Structure 1
Amino acid sequence: MLKKQQKSIERESNKLQTGKKKYITGTVIATIIAITPYLFYLYESVPQTKLWSTFLFDFNSNYYESAQTAFWILTGKIIPIYLLLIWFFTCRHWWFHVLLVPIAMYTFQVMNILNDDLSYVDEFQMIYMIPIMAIIIPSIYLIRARIFNKINDATKSLEEFEEEFKISPKNFWDKVKQYF
């Protein structure tokens, strides 16, 4: 009887610690999302000159002719990547790999912005996106097909099957490790 009580107390203690970790993790993620507008407006601290010199680096804006304009365009692409990555690493739905498509698209756009010799920023990303989409879209379709095959063969609801396919790693690094 005493051992059962001790095990019950240990389980409750573990649940409480897990709850605290989830609360802290949720608070950190919410704070990171909440500071997004401040991160976007960091471009206003960049001077409107062609050459911007800091103690870390020198930035010469050849194409945009203003460092502030270049950083305004850059933050307009980096902030969506930032939010999509948060969504990607916190999403537990079976379709979360589809988020890699817009992440890759914005990443290519950032690379093009950093290459000052390009005159059109959003012109040829689809060419580079085809291999990524060729892998992700069929894999998502196959997962969806498996779900619907199981639904037709069983009495479970779509929500119950989606719950089965959710990936719930223990921590952030487990989530990262599952991709490599």
Structure 2
Amino acid sequence: MTGLVERMRKILAVLLAAGMVATAAPVMAQELAPEHLALAREYVDLTDRAQIYEVTLVETGIETLRQVVTQNPEIIDQTDAAITAVLDEYRGRKGELLDQFARVYAVRFTMDELQEIVDFYSTPTGEKLAQTNAEINGDLERVLAVFESNLKREFFAKVRAELREQGIEI
């Protein structure tokens, strides 16, 4: 048992170290040429078919409305007006988020690579991929959820069977 615990600790330490290294990367601090950022932003603009900023604003507004109205149902009209005013404040700030997305891509891809990516997404096939990416990602999430659910049951059953072979019932 001690050997297994020690191995699990080592595996956990390696995973944590890898995660810490990955998250410690100075993504935002790295200096990038304006043309590099512009090319990355072009890619982001070409692929922003899901309108992620607008969707996030609306979802946040709905969540806020639910939270406030659940506790104070008598102020639904005032809350709706306040949320509309705040949404109006944020509507013009989409560029800030997309610029940060562009920075992430610019850090990871060279100018030549970004140009190839932009060229691809400017083709009919690239446009179709950008158009369907949100739907595809949703489908992939559902497939992964089913896989994880099945894996957890199967994995547990196999561990139970292994333990049973050792004379341990759980």
Greater RCO, CA 8 A, separation 6+: 2
TM-score in terms of structure 2 length: 0.32
